[in-house]
Amino acid sequence: VRRKTVKDIAKAKKGDPLVCLTAYDAPRAALIDPYCDLILVGDSVGMVVHGLDSTVGVTMEMMILHGKAVMRGSEEAFVVVDMPFGSYEAGPVQAFENASRIMQETGCQAVKIESGTYAGEIVSFLVERGIPVMGHVGLRPQAIHVDGGFKAKGRSGDERQRVIDEAKAAEAGGAFAVVIEGVAEDLAREITEQLSIPTVGIGASAACDGQILVIDDMLGIFDWTPKFVRRYGDVKGEIVRSVEAYASDVKARTFPGEAETYQIKANLRNS
């Protein structure tokens, strides 16, 4: 098998929708690899795996550690690693230093940045130097402290234009695709129609060229998920049932049983 490339991702503009999910570790990356065009090692890892309240506390070290694990577990999907807050916004040189480190240490195929209207220059600096970049517009979770929370975007006319400008800045800089997060359907459709690169939606309707979800959200690990998540599993229920059964077996001394216990063979015992 060969890994997908930016060319395979670009085809989604005319073809089938892109199937994308996040992953943070090798076993889950291996399980989803056959079904996903693109696996994102999202900085959502900070909230989903490390228990942070937002993605602002996520570090380069965390992204590289989880990026390596996902690369080890997958073989076909195009793997994108999120650049964490504070690792690219200061300018093109800072962004290149950190993006090249992520690419070299993890072996991933591309990086993603939360690309405001200012980010066109950063995107082009990276792309011209060999680093494919995915943009991320609309609701940008790393800007939570400016926005005062996780808020859907594009409600006012000004804000609407701003999201369009963000998407166009990413495209003009040479991004190969752009995530659109937390916008209404008509805005997602307008951006998707105006761009020549694929749009990947999260809370941005079926009008996008592909979809992405945080894997733990769709598997049903958490009691609360945003409105835009569909739960495809009840992994929380499965974990709770399993651990309850284990705890009661240990207390009743019915685990381990004969099948799970080593016995010294008779001839050894006699020698």
Binding site for ligand KIV (CB under 6 A): 22, 40, 42-44, 82, 136, 179, 202, 212, 214
Residue 40 binding partner per list ligand KIV, Na ion, none, with a CB distance cut-off of 5 to 8 Å that depends on partner kind: ligand KIV
Which positions from 41 through 80 interact with Na ion, judged by CB under 5 A?
Answer: 42-43
DSSP string for residues in 87-130: SSTT-HHHHHHHHHHHHHHH--SEEE----GGGHHHHHHHHHTT
Q: How far apart are CA 198 and CA 196, in angstroms?
A: 7
* Comparison of 190 and 222: residue with beta carbon closer to Na ion: 222
One-letter amino acid of 256 = P
Among 121, 171, 181, 244, the active-site one is 181
The Cβ-side half-sphere exposure at 148, using a 13 Å CA radius, reads 0
Residue 63 binding partner per list ligand KIV, Na ion, none, with a CB distance cut-off of 5 to 8 Å that depends on partner kind: none
Residue 124 binding partner per list Na ion, ligand KIV, none, with a CB distance cut-off of 5 to 8 Å that depends on partner kind: none
DSSP code at position 13: G
Q: Which of 181, 175, 219, 215 is nearest to 200 (CA)?
A: 181
Token code pair at residue 42? 């999202």
Catalytic annotation present for 258: no
| Least Cβ distance, residue 44 to Na ion (angstroms) | 5
CA dihedral 135, 141, 146, 151 (to 10 degrees): 110
Does the protein bind Na ion through residue 82 (CB under 5 A)? yes
Residue 202 binding partner per list ligand KIV, Na ion, none, with a CB distance cut-off of 5 to 8 Å that depends on partner kind: ligand KIV
List, as residue ranges, the binding site: 43-44, 82, 112, 114
* Comparison of 136 and 153: residue with beta carbon closer to ligand KIV: 136
Token code pair at residue 264? 């010294």
List, as residue ranges, the binding site for 3-methyl-2-oxobutanoate: 43-44, 82, 112
List, as residue ranges, the binding site for Mg(2+): 43, 82, 114
* Comparison of 82 and 217: residue with beta carbon closer to Na ion: 82
